[in-house]
Amino acid sequence: MTLAFALRGSNGLVLGADSRVSGAFGSADTSTKFLQVNREIGILTYGLAEVGYKSINSIVDQVNGYSDFSATATPRIVHFSEIIKKTQEICKKTYGEVATELKKNNSAITDRDLTTGFILAGYDANETNQFKIHHFESPKFESDERPGDIIAAQWHISQFLSNHFYYQEMDVEQLKRLASFMLIETGVISTSVGGRLKIATVTLENGFQLLNEKEIQNIICENQPRFAKYRRILLDNLRF
């Protein structure tokens, strides 16, 4: 599993995921679960790595028409609603192919074992002029839009943290701190969450921006007193 989420703030979105991939042969912190789709939209995946990786690459390719060198046969997809449709179509197709193959080799595998999901988040600049967060999960990959945050996969600890810390009035700078906090705190307990933290922001001014390692490291350093203070507050309030 993994931890993937999108948080909505007063002036934009913050997207986050870890980079651990776990399988029968162990785990590695090298996976790509996070891609920029266009200027204002990003996509995250969790669950089956094969389906996730293939799908997000295919979505980016088809939305931008990268494979079409002359850029005439397949026009770029610009509308958020069309990107949603395309995402659903690609995810369903890729999942269907991989799941059929896996089930053929092992009949005991259920849909639950193969859970895979996607979070498409960004600014809809053409139709509604709003920040949007959509969630798609196997096997149907029906689009689910929620007004606030979406936290998926290994979500329990982050949901607890979000219940206590998250407000929609928070701005992107504050949400970046919360995102890093959620990823680190979940990694402490969940062995399937870890590795490099991937955090991105979507704002009107700058579009989709993936934070570089130095920026993430600065946020982690800035959060250090928070980890200690958080524990102190829990101890003071829950130990009696």
Partner 1 sequence: MSGILGAIRSHNGIVIVSGVEEDGPDGTACIEINNNSVAVVFRGKTAVKDFLEKYIIPKKPNAVLDAVTLIDSELKLHFDEYKEHDFSFFVAGIENGRSGYFSFWSENGQLNTIEVKQTSHFINTIEDLAVYIITKVFSEQMTVEELKNLMIFVSLQCIKVFGYDSFFNITIINNEGIKKMSEGEIKDSLSIQDKKDHKLKKIFSDFFIKEDMSK
Which residue has tokens 């929620």?
146
Separation of alpha carbons 193 and 17, rounded Å: 9
Site string for partner 1, 147-176 (x = CB under 8 A): -------x-xx-xx--xxx-x--x---xx-
* 8 A C-beta contact, residue 130 and residue 17: no
Compute the least distance from the CB of residue 155 to partner 1, in Å.
Answer: 9
Site for partner 1, residues 174 to 213, rule: CB under 8 A: 174-175, 177-178, 181, 185, 188-190
Residue 71 vs 233, nearer CB to partner 1: 233
> Does 221 engage in binding with partner 1 (CB under 8 A)?
no
Closest CA to 185 of 215, 152, 230: 230
Characterize 23-44 residue by residue with b for buried, 16 or more Cβ atoms within 10 angstroms of its Cβ, and e for exposed: eeeeeeeebebbbbbbebbbbb
Q: What angle do CA 128, 116, 48 make, to 5 degrees?
A: 135
Least separation in angstroms between CB 194 and partner 1: 14
Applying CB under 8 A, the residues found at the interface with partner 1 are 154, 156-157, 159-160, 163-165, 167, 170, 174-175, 177-178, 181, 185, 188-190, 222, 225-226, 229-231, 233-235, 237-240
